[in-house]
Chains A and B, each alone.
Chain A
Amino acid sequence: MTKTDIIIIGAGPCGLFTVFEAGLLKLKCHLIDALPQVGGQLSEIYPKKPIYDIPGYPSILAGELVSNLMEQIAPFNPDFTLGERAESITQDEAGIFTLTSNKGTQISAPVVVIAGGLGSFEPRKPPLEGISNYEDKGVDYMVRDPEKYRGKKILIAGGGDSALDWTIELADIAERITMIHRRTSFRGALDSVEKVTALAKANKIDLITEAQAIGIQGSDTLESITIKTKEQEYALAVDYFIPLFGLTPKLGPIADWGLGIERSAVKVDTLDYSTSTKGIYAIGDINTYPGKLKLILCGFHEATLMVQSAFKLIYPDQKLSFKYTTVTGIAGLE
């Protein structure tokens, strides 16, 4: 088990900046994030979009802001557990929390900060009645091992790069690939679109456009998917259905941690952004309080005040003397 001073759930901009403010108080941080990369929404949803309301930056690309934050916190050597979702949390008699990830990683610390944004990113699941009964029994939301599909009949749904790329990749492996998409045009890379169109022309795959999956059938495992096109509705017999509709944030397990949740957000005290559980704080998009604004700059402010409170909780007998970094820089603090 890894020990640290502050566990930060979520490696988005607020989580990252928390490392800096905590570092100034010589508190060590460990970040955990469900995504394989840092930056949260900024990296996953809009890395190339400019942000205009970061003080001091008339305009900065979201991806650049994340890189800058990583540079800013590097001196404090935070630990990262990426690609794992914070699943459960326990507290011992001494008040120390132990966080367990969905992959069994355990981290312990006296303070936990939830900087989870809108939740952890999960695949968008098509709203087909009963689809959850077939998860891992024929329905896969991501491709982990292409060999699994050797000699099988596969239906891939979606119009983006992952749908196109896996259709190309699996075309030689599977017995037959059918790809369905809502429109006739695709949003993926042009090169991939051309490859998929060529495969369809050569009758290597079945490409069905202006079509959607509307039903799912099977006794124990998946047997067929109902497809609706402009002309007809029919059941296509398949071994696997791979819907690839991107990722969307879901609050997830945090909702069951016994914290005050209001409209998918964690209620906090604006004095220090503490939750109803002593030692657990919530900052950024995931918290709510009267007058809350979901802005990165507000999250930075929340992180700063929160670590002062965390310090007092960890070291109740030490006097905290606030230092301006303009006087000393961060030398000697890291």
Chain B
Amino acid sequence: MDDNNIIKISVTDRDGKQHLLEAPTDMNLNLMEIIKAHELPVEGTCGGMALCASCHCYVESDHELKAASDDEEDMLDQAFYVEDNSRLSCQIKLNNELDGLSIQLAPV
């Protein structure tokens, strides 16, 4: 694996504990998948189709993210504790620009 394609992501869990994850950007992964791979408590019930809102998170760093699609917004309508910085982590594709991304898991 090429070290140039590894980024660091900070995930704060629901107990306020911070986890630093290393994520490859050349494997077509989304944020939900890498959080799950580290056995952090995200369900990802629908498998990443923006259909369940169980991977709801808050983006805390000021990274420029691709705007949420209509599907993602529609699903956030059915979630709770939704804030302006709410996203479904399954809809955030990992790429090198996201190095240093910091997110917090939303309550369930």
Contacts and interface: CB of A to CB of B under 8 A. Distances in A.
B82 A182 contact: yes
Give chain B's interface residue range (CB within 8 Å of chain A): 10 to 19
A325 B77 CA distance: 47
Contact of B74 (A41, A46, A187, A212): A187
A158 B52 contact: no
B49 A181 contact: no
A147 B78 CA distance: 26
Interface string B59-89: 0000000000010011011111110000000
B51 A45 contact: yes
A248 B107 CA distance: 15
Given A45-B46, A46-B46, A248 B77 contact: no
Nearest to A119: B45
Contact of B49 (A49, A185, A248): A49
A183 B46 contact: no
Contacts of A187: 70, 73-74, 77
A218 to B, nearest CB: 20
A118 B107 CA distance: 19
Contact of A182 (B46, B51, B76): B76
Contacts of B76: 182
**Residue of B70, B76, B80, B107 with most chain A CB atoms under a 10 A cut-off:** B80
Interface string B79-108: 111100000000000000000000000010
B78 A124 contact: yes
B45 A249 contact: yes
Interface string A152-187: 000000111000000000000000000001110101
Contacts of B79: 245
A127 interface: yes
B49 A245 contact: no
B52 A183 contact: no
Contacts of B70: 187
Nearest to B107: A127
A35 to B, nearest CB: 15
Contacts of A248: 45, 52, 54
A120 to B, nearest CB: 13
Interface string B13-40: 0000000000000000000000000000
Interface in A227-262: 245-246, 248-249
Interface in A100-155: 118, 124, 126-127
Interface string A7-45: 000000000000000000000000000000000010001
Given A45-B51, A46-B51, A182-B82, A160 B46 contact: no
Contacts of B77: 158-160, 181-183, 187, 245
A126 B77 CA distance: 12
Contact of B78 (A118, A212, A246): A246
B11 to A, nearest CB: 18
A182 B79 CA distance: 10
A294 B44 CA distance: 11
B78 A245 contact: yes
19 contacts: A41-B45, A46-B49, A46-B51, A124-B80, A127-B80, A127-B81, A158-B78, A159-B77, A160-B74, A160-B77, A160-B78, A182-B76, A187-B77, A212-B82, A245-B78, A246-B78, A248-B54, A249-B45, A294-B47
Which 4 residue pairs spanning A and B have beta carbons closest together?
Answer: A187-B74, A159-B77, A246-B78, A245-B78
Given A45-B45, A49-B51, 18 more contacts: A41-B46, A45-B46, A46-B46, A124-B78, A126-B80, A158-B78, A159-B74, A159-B77, A160-B74, A182-B77, A183-B73, A183-B77, A185-B73, A187-B74, A187-B77, A245-B78, A248-B54, A294-B47
